[in-house]
A and B are shown apart, each in its own frame.
Chain A
């Protein structure tokens, strides 16, 4: 593993995203939306910062997943990935370069949620930790979709429904018990549950087990996709 190459990929992606509105909007949309909603919508009996855990879950389930899948699929479609690999870049160096860029961009967005939610001390640490875990799983799902897809269009057709399930199921779970039970089996559902009780109780075994199980399944799916195509 060569840090120089990882850094080169990271810097390339930073420049490229600035000109790629489709990916850029993924990183900005929910943090911006939460600031607007949190400041403009105040209703009776509504919890303070009601939108923060809700939008944080959506952000975590959506931004890393779609951006990773879209970046990877575009690079495959336009042959830039093949050129990188033929220039001595290892698939893992590429994935770490792009993945760390997405992680950083999403953690910046997470910072906006943390400030809006006015989290402090233990709450803040728990929030950042659980968001980091969720972003990692979401990025890995995106990588699996990107590796599986031949081009950007097929990546979008897979990532949109997957992203909808992970992002919206925890929200729908607020209104429907059956969906709530299903949502508890998903990492995004558990993270949303955890975000809603930040600071009051630590992470219970159920959350830990679901996150680990989901992480393992995602890792396995990524391994399968990687084995099938080898990325390029």
Chain B
């Protein structure tokens, strides 16, 4: 059985306007895949197609081996979703929010407790959602998305608007899901997040994929300078060729104790995106 996500030439048009243009992505089981792009690039539209909320104009998309236009209860019970809007019951407490979904999925009564402990919200189980901070709400939504032990987890901007500490907490939870073999499809416009978490990414701009692959490999591919940058203790920086001569110079500087830090000249994903599209990510 295919546990991944396959998309072939996905096109989506709204009122004659093309939102997605020939998207081709293959995501294997247990992979964390990041769809990166600025606001309005088509990320949420693609998630909606993959989860059967929208139908593509052209092309084929498969989720867990099933055409996304024909998803059934069986597929829905194997996916978890953290959407752009939280969709929590504000007047209910954390526990009751999860209990509802445990009942819907026919899970055992201890699942909400397990899920709350997993996201570090067990102490706040009796707190109503309206009293939670944004970070706590995000963790609760993640707990809800994971309560049925999904094979595929869709996360739409999971750390949007969170402070670094809360974002790190969410990253840890996502990484734990990968360890369990869950396939994670996340959208983000946070490049660092993508570099840190994702096995593969796609850079999406105006509905088209402009680059696809492992984030590290993509950055190395666009390392046109291919140099070594030495930051010295006296505050100066020197660029050295990435060859035996450069290596010798690095050795000498290190020997003399002059080096503060050594960097490569690889661009980050944002720079790659700018190079490819001529526009920034924000």
A interface residues (Cβ-Cβ under 8 A, vs B): 4-5, 7-9, 11-12, 15-16, 19-20, 78-80, 82-84, 86-89
Asked whether A79 and B86 contact (CB < 8 A) given A12-B96, A19-B128, A86-B81, the answer is yes
Q: Considering only CB atoms, which chain B residue lies closest to A82 in the complex?
A: B87
Q: Is the Cβ of B87 less than 8 Å from the Cβ of A16?
A: no
CB distance from B179 to the nearest CB of A (A): 24
Q: Is the Cβ of B91 less than 8 Å from the Cβ of A19?
A: yes
Q: Which stretch from B2-10, B101-109, B204-212 is at the chain A interface?
A: B101-109
Q: Considering only CB atoms, which chain A residue lies closest to B101 in the complex?
A: A87
CB distance from B80 to the nearest CB of A (A): 9
Q: For chain B, residues 24 to 57, give those with C-beta under 8 angstroms from any C-beta of chain A.
A: 51, 53
Q: Is the Cβ of B106 less than 8 Å from the Cβ of A4?
A: yes
Out of B53, B81, B89, which one reaches A12, CB within 8 Å? B89
Q: Is the Cβ of B76 less than 8 Å from the Cβ of A83?
A: no
Whole-angstrom CA separation of A15 from B104 in the bound complex: 16
Q: Is the Cβ of B100 less than 8 Å from the Cβ of A12?
A: yes
Chain B interface bracket (under 10, 10 to 19, 20 to 34, 35 or more) = 20 to 34
Inside 8 A of A7's CB, which chain B residues have their CB? 103
Q: Is the Cβ of B96 less than 8 Å from the Cβ of A83?
A: no
Q: Is the Cβ of A79 less than 8 Å from the Cβ of B83?
A: yes
B73 at the interface (CB under 8 A from A): yes
B interface residues (Cβ-Cβ under 8 A, vs A): 51, 53, 73, 76-77, 81, 83, 85-92, 96, 100-101, 103-106, 128, 144
Inside 8 A of A82's CB, which chain B residues have their CB? 53, 83, 87
Q: Considering only CB atoms, which chain A residue lies closest to B130 in the complex?
A: A19
Q: Is the Cβ of B87 less than 8 Å from the Cβ of A79?
A: yes
Q: Is the Cβ of B104 less than 8 Å from the Cβ of A86?
A: no
6 more A-B residue pairs beyond the given contacts A78-B87, A79-B86, with a C-beta to C-beta distance below 8 A: A12-B96, A12-B100, A80-B89, A83-B87, A86-B81, A88-B77
CB distance from A8 to the nearest CB of B (A): 4
Q: Considering only CB atoms, which chain B residue lies closest to A89 in the complex?
A: B104
CB distance from A85 to the nearest CB of B (A): 9
Whole-angstrom CA separation of A19 from B93 in the bound complex: 11
CB distance from B89 to the nearest CB of A (A): 6
Q: Considering only CB atoms, which chain B residue lies closest to A90 in the complex?
A: B73
Q: Is the Cβ of B88 less than 8 Å from the Cβ of A87?
A: no
Asked whether A86 and B91 contact (CB < 8 A) given A5-B104, A7-B103, A79-B83, the answer is no
Out of A8, A16, A19, A80, which one reaches B104, CB within 8 Å? A8
